[in-house]
């Protein structure tokens, strides 16, 4: 069953963060993932969270998403993201 990685991003350095995007995109595709949403307009409908940049990825399984996130393939991109943004990331299984 599919799994969705949901990321809330606060970009601290836009120029530095731009280097992250192509590197991350390549690794996501190599691990069978794809973008569902990537930084489009976001509005908070309920709750206290301020809607900043939101990214949603789809992977074939939760295990595939975990493997991508912990892979050496993604590590260089992840390091760039950590330097140039604050993020919260979670993965949730979708419906069969």
At 24-59, the pLDDT tens digits run 999 999 999 999 999 899 988 898 888 789 999 999
At 80-93, the pLDDT tens digits run 999 999 999 999 99
Buried b (16+ CB within 10 A) or exposed e, 58-87: bbeebebbeebbeeebbeebbebbeebbee
pTM above 0.75, yes or no: yes
Q: What domains appear along the chain, each with residue ranges and CATH number?
A: 3-93 (3.30.70.100)
């Amino acid at each position: 069953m599919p799994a969705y990685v949901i990321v809330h991003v606060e970009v601290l350095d836009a120029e530095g963060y731009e280097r992250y995007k192509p590197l991350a995109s390549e690794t996501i595709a190599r691990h069978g993932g794809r973008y569902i949403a990537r930084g489009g307009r976001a509005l908070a409908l309920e709750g206290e969270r301020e809607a900043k940049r939101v990214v949603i990825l789809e992977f074939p399984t939760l295990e595939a998403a975990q493997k991508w996130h912990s892979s050496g393939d993604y590590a260089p991109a992840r390091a760039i993201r950590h330097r140039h943004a604050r993020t919260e990331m979670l993965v949730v299984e979708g419906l069969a």
